[in-house]
Amino acid sequence: MDKDVVSAKLFLIIPLFMPLILASAELLDIFCPNDSGSYTLYSPFENNLKQLLESLPSNTSVTGFYHTSIGDNPYTVYGQALCRGDVNSTVCQTCIWNASQEILTQCKSEDAMIWFELCQVRYSYQMFISLMDYTVKYLNNLGQNSSDPVLAVHYNEVLAYLFNNISTEASNDPSKRMFVTGEIKLSTETIYGLVQCTRDIPEDDCNSCLLSALRDFETCCFSLRGGTLLSRNCNMRFEAYQFYSASSLILTYPSSEGYYSLKRRNRMVVVITCVPLLVLAVLGGSCAVYHRRKKRTQPGLLCVQEDPADRPTMTSVAVLLGNESVPLPEPKHPALAISRLIQIDQLSAANPSVNELTLSNVSPR
């Protein structure tokens, strides 16, 4: 391609992406539902909200978490703020201040929440303190290349192991104040993970929030190089670089565990796909005893080809199983790995950075 054309295209693309990159370093997401009704300007509600947001930065910076309510019924505003567990009070205060400004200018709804990389702020006309609400959003690529799929063997099992451990630590050990980071070595790189809950919910709720989060996180992000999951009461994130400044748990993956579970899963696929074919073959009277391993697995592999054209027909499986002398076509890669790739593509095609799963509806007063 012509060099000038390429640089002209880059010139067009870069300014478009610049604001995205800059914004992602600070503001991650804002939840500002239009359907919950807007508050009236210069109303007692707005007045209370402003007072509440003003009180959040200094009060939150003391311990990194704070909640309060301001005003009398029916104009009460409830508010809550949380800083990431590894930031000091100066950074916490600035972040909460920024978040409060942003939520006040961007939102006019009576119920809203904002997530920054280092803190989050939430307010509502409804009492929500101590009530766990698992509402979730994903951000796949905070890091620049974190949406690259990773096809390393055991990758998602290692991640699941990491998050199971630090989630349990966060909800079981009160001294951690519901914030735990951990790192785990894969063959060539180290994966860094973080979990945190808001400290108004009981430990049990923190645990169930993180369990739900882990299930969703596995689906959305565990084949990627990094990911972030935001919800109202708990957050999760991992990257292939150290993105926090806390001391972290150093974990080692028990490798035997992964080997067996992976083997079991592969066998399941072959069994599920090919049992009907085998039954057919047996019913057809071509029951045979197999001596060679390859002979047995190859029809199985052929059955799980991604492209139907590569799969054998029922009759040819019967023939394959019954006749030792028929040469078998070499199986290509089984569909398992390929379909995982497709899933990621669909995920990022819908929206490259944000994948929204659920949004709870807040009814107007």
Q: In the complex, which residues of this chain contact ligand NAG (CB under 6 A)? A: 26, 34, 54-55, 58-59, 88, 90-91, 94-95, 98, 116, 118, 143-145, 165, 168-169, 240-241, 249, 251
Q: Minimum Å distance from CB 351 to ligand NAG? A: 14
Q: Minimum Å distance from CB 134 to ligand NAG? A: 21
Q: Minimum Å distance from CB 206 to ligand NAG? A: 14
Taking the least distance from each CB to ligand NAG, the nearer of 227 and 312 is: 227
Calculate helix-pair angle for 203-221, 155-172, nearest 10 degrees: 170
Q: Minimum Å distance from CB 59 to ligand NAG? A: 4
Angstrom distances, CA of residue 253 to CA of 44, 56, 78, 130 = 55, 41, 43, 35
Residue 337: CA count within 13 A, CB half-sphere: 12
Taking the least distance from each CB to ligand NAG, the nearer of 26 and 203 is: 26
d(CA 157, CA 151): 12
Taking the least distance from each CB to ligand NAG, the nearer of 170 and 317 is: 170
Taking the least distance from each CB to ligand NAG, the nearer of 180 and 304 is: 180
Q: Minimum Å distance from CB 68 to ligand NAG? A: 7
Taking the least distance from each CB to ligand NAG, the nearer of 66 and 217 is: 66
